[in-house]
Amino acid sequence: MKKAPGRGAPRRKPAAPKEGEASPPAIIAAIPDAALPSFADLGLIPALLDAVRDAGYTSPTPIQRQAIPLALNGRDLIGLAQTGTGKTAGFTLPIIQRLLEGNHGGSDSHRVRTLILTPTRELCVQVEESFRKYGRHTGLRVTPIFGGVGVEPQTKLLRAGVDVVVATPGRLLDHMERQNVVFDDLEVLVLDEADRMLDMGFAPQLNRIVSEVPRFRQTLLFSATMPPEVEALARKYLRKPIVVQVGRRSSAATGVTHAVYPVPRDRKTELLAELLKKDGMDSVLIFTRTKHGADRVVRHLSGMGVTATAMHADKSQVERMRALEDFKLGKIRVLVATDIAQRGLDVSGISHVINYDVPQQPEDYVHRIGRTGRAAATGDAFTFMAPDEIAMVRSIERIIGEPIPRISVPGYDFGSVAGDLEEVRAAPVSVSRRRTGRR
């Protein structure tokens, strides 16, 4: 496969592949915004049009405009899109339609027809919820399978028969080894957030799972980034895929405004306390590098009377789900998370994301700020940058292709960023914004 498109790679017409050979992905041109098709124009059936209307969507997002017609046609797809772009509906809607329309092979209630693999439990639950939301009136049975909870209830559900399994790779393999589920009749395989699955070391599990599903199937692969490992995965598992992609949501034009606050490490908590006093900081997701860091921030905020809870790997699945639920319901104002919550977290109405620590992987920055400004919403994403994190911020700026505006708070700014990307001076008001780049 040729170098993946995007990231400034030149678009070129792929050579015609020989029969049976993995073909380089074709690229479809971005559809101009002027002639926006509606969901009906994409070929969705009335039951799904009702479902999207019930969900409050007025028009398809760019990834949906591109992916839905192709997926309905049975094509293999590589979707270069991150969370927040509407990609889940982009694959869920056509899959539901194909499952309803193509009832090939009789009505054996035990055959699983679609498998969706996700890197995290949170994303697994989110995708399952989407299936339920969009497939409400269809009678399709969908079950989520993830670790950290009892095996038995999942075993019962799988053995009773389901149409769609949404799973994290490790727990799914356990069930496959126990013969609780077989995929002999699988029609559609989805690898969601493939880059993240590989980052998390799931390559061996993916190989084993895919070796147990039929070769003739439709495969959809979604990934926010396209490193060589993901390309190799696509080459191995997909047949003549078409690449669809949408622009990054990190750009100010997409609704998220983002900024960096220069602040010494030992004063980050104070700055956080200051920011939380500002209007509109209603539902704030904070990322810390470590579990201890998350707990420390929660203790500090609780001491100030701010409702906050931590979500990280030391918390049980039940605690994590409760934390998420309370946050969604607005019972707690601040959720402090380590990277486990980075993707797959669909919380409508997050007002702000704060990177208390600069993300170690530049790509993670994009995913994190994708938590806010989801679909039609807008939001702010702030990053606290200590002097030893300047280089990491620069790497992020290289990846997203634009400088991140600096906000200098007098008394906090350590003053060492002048000449970094823009000149920052202490401003007369308590919090002043000086933006670079587009708004």
Please pick, from the candidates 24, 68, 80, 85, the single residue that binds ligand AMP as defined by CB under 6 A: 85
The answer for residues whose C-beta is within 8 angstroms of residue 317's C-beta and 6 or more apart is 121, 146, 148, 149
Does 86 contact ligand AMP by CB under 6 A?
yes
Between 179 and 348, CB nearer to ligand AMP: 348
Q: How many other CB atoms are found less than 10 A from the CB of residue 81?
A: 27
Output 339 or 346, the one with its CB closest to ligand AMP.
Answer: 346
Please give the Cα distance from 43 to 21 (Å, whole number).
30
CB 202 within 8 A of CB 171: no
**Nearest distance from residue 437's CB to ligand AMP, in Å?**
23
Asked if 283 is part of the footprint of ligand AMP (rule: CB under 6 A), the reply reads no
DSSP for residue 10: P
For tokens 């990322």, name the residue: 287
Token digits for 324? 């998420």
| 135: contact with ligand AMP by CB under 6 A | no
Closer Cβ to ligand AMP, 114 or 154, answer by number: 114
Q: Is 192 in the site for ligand AMP (CB under 6 A)?
A: no
CA pair distance 341, 355, nearest whole angstrom: 13
Terminal alpha carbon distance of the chain: 37
C-beta closer to ligand AMP: residue 5 or 370:
370
Residue 284, burial from CB neighbour count under 10 angstroms (0-12, 13-18, 19+): buried
179 lies in the binding site for ligand AMP (CB under 6 A): no
For 80-120, the DSSP string reads E--TTSSHHHHHHHHHHHHHHH--TTTT-TT---EEEE-SS
CB of 43: closest distance to ligand AMP in angstroms? Answer: 15
115 in Cβ contact with 213 (< 8 Å): yes
| Residues, the chain | 439
In the complex, least distance from residue 86 CB atom to ligand AMP, rounded to whole angstroms: 3
- Check binding of 379 to ligand AMP (CB under 6 A): no
The conformation of residue 140, written as its DSSP 8-state character, comes to -
Contacts 24+ apart (CB under 8 A), 32-36: 36/60, 36/65
CA atoms of 308 and 18, how far apart (whole Å): 57
How many positions of this chain bind ligand AMP (CB under 6 A)?
16
If the CB atoms of residues 6 and 37 are measured against ligand AMP, the closer one turns out to be 37
Stretch that binds ligand AMP, among 26-34, 85-93, 389-397, 399-407 (CB under 6 A): 85-93
Does residue 30 bind ligand AMP (CB under 6 A)?
no
What's the closest the beta carbon of residue 384 comes to ligand AMP, in angstroms?
A: 26
- In the bound state with ligand AMP, the residue whose beta carbon lies nearer, of 31 and 376, is 376
60 sits near ligand AMP (criterion: CB under 6 A): yes
Q: Is 36 in the site for ligand AMP (CB under 6 A)?
A: no
CB of 110 to ligand AMP, least distance (A): 29
Q: Where does residue 194 rank: exposed (0-12), middle (13-18), buried (19+ CB within 10 A)? A: buried
Residue 376 makes contact with ligand AMP by CB under 6 A: yes
Stretch that binds ligand AMP, among 58-66, 140-148, 227-235, 256-264 (CB under 6 A): 58-66
Residue number, 167 or 181, with CB nearest to ligand AMP: 167
Least CB distance from residue 45 to ligand AMP, whole Å?
17
Nearer to ligand AMP, 51 or 421 (CB): 51
Rule CB under 6 A: choose which of 6, 45, 50, 57 binds ligand AMP.
Answer: 57
- Is 249 an interacting residue with respect to ligand AMP (CB under 6 A)? no
Number of CB atoms found within 10 A of residue 303's CB: 10
Using CB under 6 A, list all residues that contact ligand AMP. 57, 60-61, 64, 83-89, 346, 348, 374-376
